[in-house]
Amino acid sequence: MMRKKQAQHLDARYVTMVENAYYYCNPPPMEKTVKKKRPPLQEYIRKLLYKDLSKVTTEKVLRQMRKLPWQDPEVKSYLICCMVNIWNVKYNSIHCVANLLAGLVAYQEDVGIHVVDGVLEDIRLGMEVNQPKFNQRRISSAKFLGELYNYRMVESAVIFRTLFSFISFGVNQDGSASPLDPPEHLFRIRLVCTLLDTCGQYFDRGSSKRKLDCFLIYFQRYIWWKKSLDVWTKDHPFPIDIDYMISDTLELLRPKMRLSCSLDEATKHVTDLEREVLVKLGLAMEKDGRSSAMSEGEVLDEDDDEDDEEGGAETEEQSGNESEMNEQEEDEGSENEEEEREEEDEENTDYLTDSNKENETDEENNEVTIRGGGLKHVACAEDEDFIQALDKMMLENLQQRSGESVKVHQLDVAIPLQLKSQLKKGGSGQSCIGEAESDISDTMQFVMLTRKGNKQQYKILNVPLSSHLAANHFNQQQAEQEERMRMKKLTLDINERQEQEDYQEMMQSLAQRPAPANTNRERRPRYQHPKGAPNADLIFKTGGRR
């Protein structure tokens, strides 16, 4: 069959069928894969994380994880290693691992720190190695880092530091080739889009919004720098799927953002941004030398850790905040507290890394009095119109709500028939806890409902009328009885009056109706005298019969 396949020109389907039959009967020699043997506890941990974990079973897996022997350092390190190796988990279940870790941190705090460090280290290692076989691994790590931010395991500064490292680590802006980021490699753009698609929608207010706006400007310059390289020609154009992915990400985050159309325009935007930052930093230095020196030191420290582009974006955000606050504040201590307050109110993402710092700032903020009132308010005519409209709306709302009556819904539980025979006659039969029934003049009967397992049990209680419960219930019953009688009398009166009105209308209509005329008299035919001689046969009816 193999010789026949080679001699004849067969269809691709027949070729596949022949090869499948041949290799099924005569399989090629293959080396047997040796399965790694692990202890039962490690196999159980891998089963929980890689097979059982899903959106529905997260709580169940968390309860099983808490039962592990955490005092054993080997078990703890293996669990941390399994969580760091997030590429072994299904891509759609990565957020479940982040949710599991966020719940586990409440009981084992150091686990979250080690997992976050391992993920950041793996991301940096992927940029240093840069081999295609690690691409899926790098995508999973970037996705996991974004989910960790969504579950408040890392702060926004970590996300932006990672984003800037994607477009700056090992990148030669002069155009020379770099082994860490070759010209034809576009995988870092995919990493940026994956991370922004995961957690970028939360950067929509405060300092996080300004940081993301700055990063997108640098990101556009990086994209156009990649497009302008010589490797992309008419025969080998820039991949269109990368363009679609970038446009989808920017449309999701900043739909109204004006995009750059060329490398020169993107470079001009970056230059204008850096110039604006330097101007603000210079103004801050003139107004307050101490605070500007402090901010410049922070920028320099960040520049040592990160590259020039990342430092520029962080400088703009910090210097912008300081220039606004320096206009109102001259005390360095109150300025620091103001910055920490704004960061905590706007981001609320410092969960693990800066937990001690947050506790200290929370304790100190209780005693801080802010001297400045923020930006100066300029009065205008629109403010008065707005205040008048607001007062009018609030007054109308108060008047409308004051007329509404709040009704408390009561639950009436029916008493079983076998208990009604035991209760004495003369009482109502229902209540919220039970129903009160009249006993003698000094006691009332209540039926108390209890539950034992799946069965309901009833017990009759004799409560004296001197107690508040019985007195209030008796007064409530009397009031309800009087209300029912009043409504009954009112209803009967209405029905009686309506019947009388109907009877009077009927009699009045009968009196106004005219007497009936005898129409039969008019309908009788009048006698007409016959002309000519009379017909005797017709008169005496003697003839004409047949």
pLDDT at 546: 47
Q: Which neighbouring-strand residues pair with 446?
A: 461
The answer to whether the CB of 250 falls within 8 A of the CB of 259 is yes
Residue 114: other Cβ atoms inside 10 A: 17
Residue 336: other Cβ atoms inside 10 A: 16
Nearest 10 degrees: CA dihedral of 53, 59, 63, 66?
80
pLDDT at 219: 94
Q: Tell me the C-alpha distance between 475 and 178, whole Å.
A: 90
Q: What is the mean pLDDT of the chain?
A: 78
pLDDT at 283: 64
The answer to whether the CB of 194 falls within 8 A of the CB of 139 is yes
The DSSP line for 188-221 is HHHHHHHHHHHHGGG--SHHHHHHHHHHHHHHHH
Mean pLDDT by runs of 10 across the 546 residues of the chain is 86 90 88 86 95 94 94 95 95 95 94 96 93 94 96 95 94 79 92 95 92 94 91 90 94 90 92 90 58 40 42 40 39 42 42 39 40 60 86 85 65 69 54 43 79 79 83 87 92 91 87 68 65 76 61
The answer to whether the CB of 101 falls within 8 A of the CB of 148 is yes
Nearest 10 degrees: CA dihedral of 223, 224, 230, 234?
100
pLDDT at 297: 39
Closest CA to 122 of 106, 136, 110, 111: 136
CA atoms within a 13 Å half-sphere pointing along the CA-CB vector of 395:
6
The answer to whether the CB of 260 falls within 8 A of the CB of 269 is yes
Q: Tell me the C-alpha distance between 306 and 293, whole Å.
A: 20
pLDDT at 516: 66
Work out the end-to-end distance of the chain between its first and last CA atoms, rounded to an integer number of angstroms. Answer: 118
Please give the single-letter amino acid code of residue 3. Answer: R
Ranges assigned E (strand) in 335-417: 413-414
**Rounded (5°) CA angle 146-150-153:** 90
- Strands 455-464, 443-452: pairing is antiparallel
Query: What would you report as the CA-atom Rg of the chain, rounded to the nearest whole angstrom?
Result: 45
Closest CA to 115 of 164, 151, 71, 160: 151
pTM of the model: 0.51
Name the DSSP letter for residue 324: H
Q: Which helix (H) or strand (E) holds 440?
A: none
Q: Tell me the C-alpha distance between 51 and 143, whole Å.
A: 19
Closest CA to 282 of 309, 322, 249, 242: 322
Name the DSSP letter for residue 225: H
Residue 233: other Cβ atoms inside 10 A: 8
Q: Tell me the C-alpha distance between 340 and 109, whole Å.
A: 24
